[in-house]
Amino acid sequence: MDHVFGIPGVHTVELYRGLAGSSIRHVTPRHEQGAGFMADGYARTRGKPGVCFIITGPGMTNITTAMGQAYADSIPMLVISSVQSRDQLGGGRGKLHELPNQAALVSGVAAFSHTLMSADDLPQVLARAFAVFEGGRPRPVHIEIPLDVLVEPADHLLPGRVVRSSRAGAAPQAVAQMAERLANARRPLILAGGGALAAGAALARLADHLQAPVALTINAKGLLPASHPLQIGSTQSLPATRALVAEADVVLAIGTELAETDYDITFKGGFEIPGNLLRIDIDPDQTVRNYLPTLSLVADAELAAEALLGALQPLPQPVRESTWGAARVARLRQALAAGWDQPTLSQTRLLNAILERLPNAILVGDSTQPVYTGNLTLDMDQPRRWFNASTGYGTLGYALPAAMGAWLGSAEQVDERAPAVCLIGDGGLQFTLPELASAVEAQVPLIVLLWNNQGYEEIKKYMVNRAIEPVGVDIHTPDFIGVARALGAAAEQVADVAQLQVALGQAVERKGPTLIQIDQNQWQGAVLG
């Protein structure tokens, strides 16, 4: 652990007693929800759990939204909080920050919540937390420490014994059965999700061996490079891609929930897998949710992909239909490219302009139009460089603090950290705007790319399409540039690609955040002529 995110309070000061003399950097958000989002972004780029120190009561109610986002996306997060003294738990005496049952409150957004009744139990509870993070489906873990336990002597616990967990390997019999079906398939296809982030190299070899098109969920972007001839992208909600999936006679789904927000962003249904479905997931329960498989395997994605390769290689070389594989993917890409409308093209140009100027940037998105567009049109060359809150739990305001955490987690050395770009709308930004001050204080060169359309435009469209008179969506738009400067950030407005790329180049040289505002109508007019 090299970073911890939290706001000190009277119930957590004992957690801070040794912090100043340690190598751990403390980052102070302006709201506990921000702490959780920062830890989430940190975990996604670092591949290790983000850690939060949170006060009893309101601190925990504030962070539950961020825990819900991390829970939905299988992100490891360790939340350490205080709670009332052991003799006061559940007492209902009106103590400061008292909740009837804090652990029960967070149980729905955590792998588990544990009340530490003795300091001596801490090593075992931490080992249990890291067993979840390393050995199973990673999700938030909450450890609450009663105020009287916080002051117990604990020097004898250091140095503790580190317990490491390994992920489940692939059962040979199940691997053999899956390999046989894949070897006999004439039109195999792979659906890969965020649970396969560590399996990119093995998946690429497996896809090449099978000549199987590969569709990636949004959290899996970059598992196969954008230029890979078998890479479909994240377009499973579109008719052309659905037609391809329907043609497959064997579908291998690995590390994916097969959930609505990856496979049906229209929320109208219609995604079907008529062929034999083979499912691989680290979570046994997940192997049978949403779509029942022909065969299932509970295993780590990378170990399973390697095992499948090993089982396939001795088998006769598969015979594929001549129009399948790379040829079929090329036709799909052409069909998709021909179908993008003008707003989609202008927003894709925005995203490409960012990557042209900052090719190693991490793009962290909120629920806003360019992010919805990028989910469909943008492909990355590496994983962990595109993630957002527009799918799954769908939290507004996520992108600003999460991008801050992503920058902090992208490398151990400051000069090796990748630029972090927050893609956010004017409505979402108002949820977590004060975290700009956190980035100023922490000297994080965060780039906040604000897509301003003066309100909740997507919800307004949703209302209009359903013959509902729009209410509550035309919100007041503040002077974001003035507010950003007042908080200590640099800020400017740009109108076209050339201005944007100049602004991006200047932003990465600063020691603090930069807000770059883009007016939706002005941008689309400039880009589309």
DSSP track, 440-494: HHHT---EEEEEE-SS-HHHHHHHHHTT----S-S-----HHHHHHHTT-EEEEE
Structure confidence by residue, pLDDT tens digits, 207-234: 999 999 999 999 999 999 999 999 999 9
Torsion sign over Cα 398, 404, 409, 411: positive
Note the pLDDT of residue 433. 97
Note the pLDDT of residue 457. 87
Structure confidence by residue, pLDDT tens digits, 389-425: 998 899 999 999 999 999 999 988 888 899 999 999 9
pTM: 0.95
Residue 76, preceding bond cis, omega within 30 degrees? Answer: no
Of the CATH numbers 2.60.260.20, 3.40.50.300, 3.40.50.720, 3.40.50.1220, which one belongs to the domain with range 172-336? 3.40.50.1220
By CB atoms closer than 10 A (0-12, 13-18, 19+), residue 213 is: buried
* Sites in the chain below the pLDDT cut of 50: none
Q: Any idea where the domains of the chain sit in the sequence?
A: 3-157, 172-336, 340-528
Q: Is 430 helix (H, G, I), strand (E, B) or coil?
A: helix
Torsion sign over Cα 197, 261, 389, 344: positive
Note the pLDDT of residue 417. 93
- Cβ contact 365:388 at 8 Å: yes
- Which residues are bridge partners to 81 per DSSP? 54, 144
Position 147: which residue type?
Answer: L
Q: What is the enclosing helix (H) or strand (E) of 499? A: helix 497-507
Q: What is the enclosing helix (H) or strand (E) of 60? A: helix 58-72
By CB atoms closer than 10 A (0-12, 13-18, 19+), residue 308 is: buried
The fold for domain 3-157 equals Rossmann fold (3.40.50)
Determine what percent of the chain falls in helix, strand and coil, rounding each to the nearest 5.
Answer: 45, 15, 40
C-alpha span between 272 and 190 (Å, rounded): 14
- Cβ contact 217:387 at 8 Å: no
Note the pLDDT of residue 165. 81
- Which residues are bridge partners to 143 per DSSP? 80, 114
* Core vs surface per residue 500-528: b (16+ CB within 10 A) or e: bbebbeebbeeebbbbbbbbbeebbebbe
C-alpha span between 300 and 167 (Å, rounded): 6
Note the pLDDT of residue 316. 86
**CB proximity list for 406: less than 8 A, separation 6 or greater:** 41, 42, 44, 45, 362, 364, 420
The CA-atom distances, in angstroms, between 115 and each of 70, 84, 123 are 21, 10, 13
**CB proximity list for 169: less than 8 A, separation 6 or greater:** 299, 300, 303, 307
Classify domain 340-528 by CATH architecture: 3-Layer(aba) Sandwich (3.40)
> Do 172-336 and 340-528 have matching folds?
yes
Exposure on the CB side of residue 241, measured as CA atoms within 13 A: 26
Note the pLDDT of residue 93. 85
C-alpha span between 494 and 523 (Å, rounded): 8
Note the pLDDT of residue 505. 97
Note the pLDDT of residue 219. 94
User: Which residue pairs from 288-295 have beta carbons closer than 8 angstroms and sit at least 24 positions apart in sequence?
Assistant: 289/257, 289/258, 290/257, 290/258, 290/259, 291/253, 291/258, 293/253, 294/181, 295/174, 295/177, 295/178, 295/181
